[in-house]
Amino acid sequence: MSTPEEKEILKLNLERSIPLFEKESAVVHSDFKKTLIATDIHGDLNALEFILKFAEEKEVDSYIFLGDYIDKGSESVAVLNTLLELKLKDPKKTILLRGNHETRGLSAWLEFGEDLVYHPELLDAANEFFEKMPIAAVLNNQIFCIHGCIAGSEDETPTDISKAEPKCYIWNDPGAEDGLTPSPRGNSIHRVGPNLISDYLKRNDLKLIIRGHTSHTEGVKYWFDGKLVSLYSGIHLDGLQVKAAVAIAKEDEIKFHYFRKTKNRFEWLDESEKMKLK
Ligand SMILES: [Mn+2]
């Protein structure tokens, strides 16, 4: 649960940052030299601080977060404050994409909504902010970053994405079968198959899709011969052996770094993996 001070700070941070997000388009195109990519922090301030310290040590010049900042953990307000302050410090260097938890539907009745139950005006300001957030980012003309997945529609391009209708992009998942298959997550949500991912990348001259959204215990899951990566940086699944991961993208290469939490202490694992963009 957040303190009264944290809530007050969130109010000010939202007031200051909403105009910045209003100016950003639904798909942000950026060229960076060394970018940290992380996702699904879900109210875990300690995890976020652990990741940001690592990013600083690695001297990244930019950050892309793939959404789902709130709920599950108890410190959603503090997580939003930390990320908004990072954004306000240098707006061009920090991209905060929208996740499916950053929606009126979910934010009202999970942990974040519960925390703000006696502060409806602050919850409303947060929801106004969520609606201004960008949905996707194209990094160095090669890597397509999104919370859920592409829509999987015919002749789809990144310019089809609008802030007004984000549902499929923040909810979809990849799926093993070609074409679109129904998702247990709900109506008008789909699993997007390998043929659609492959066509989308080719049509739009992109090399990789990196997305979050699906919790799993490996940190990184490779799909479709490395055309799509499902990243998970949340460590709230508990259990000693649960691994989470972040990515550092640098020119034609992405390096995945793994960490875990043991007895409330975070630690980086020795293992890391490099992936060359083809
Ligand atoms: Mn999600």
Every domain of the chain and the residues it spans: 4-141+217-276
| Rounded to 5°, angle at Cα 248 from 255 and 209 | 85
Q: How far is the CA of 186 from the centre of ligand 1 (A)?
A: 13
Among residues of the chain, what percentage have pLDDT more than 90?
A: 90
Q: Greater confidence, 239 or 272?
A: 272
The mean of the pLDDT values for the chain is 95
Per-residue pLDDT tens over the stretch 205-246: 999 999 999 988 899 999 999 999 999 998 865 555 689 999
Residue 200 pLDDT:
98
CA-closest candidate to residue 59, choices 263, 214, 218, 250: 250
Range 160-169 average pLDDT? 96
Q: C-alpha dihedral over 92, 278, 218, 39, to 10 degrees?
A: 10
| Rounded to 5°, angle at Cα 147 from 181 and 194 | 35
Q: How far is the CA of 147 from the centre of ligand 1 (A)?
A: 7
Range 258-262 average pLDDT? 90
4-141+217-276 — its CATH code?
Answer: 3.60.21.10
**C-alpha 45: how far from chain center:** 15
Query: What's the predicted TM-score (pTM) here?
Result: 0.97
Per-residue pLDDT tens over the stretch 171-208: 999 999 999 999 999 999 999 999 999 999 999 999 99
**Helix H or strand E encompassing 208:** strand 208-211
Q: How far is the CA of 142 from the centre of ligand 1 (A)?
A: 23
Ion ligand 1: residues, CB within 5 A, are: 68, 99-100, 213
Residue 15 pLDDT:
98
Residue 236 pLDDT:
66
| Rounded to 5°, angle at Cα 170 from 200 and 235 | 110
Residue 241 pLDDT:
63
Tell me which residues are annotated as active site. Answer: 101
* Number of helices followed by number of strands (H, E) in the chain: 8, 15
Among residues of the chain, what percentage have pLDDT more than 70?
A: 98
Let me know: does 225 contact 218? Beta carbons within 8 Å: no
Distance CA 53, CA 56 (A): 5
Per-residue pLDDT tens over the stretch 60-106: 999 999 999 999 999 999 999 999 999 999 999 999 999 999 999 88
Q: C-alpha dihedral over 221, 69, 79, 92, to 10 degrees?
A: 90
Residue 37 pLDDT class (50, 70, 90 cuts): very high
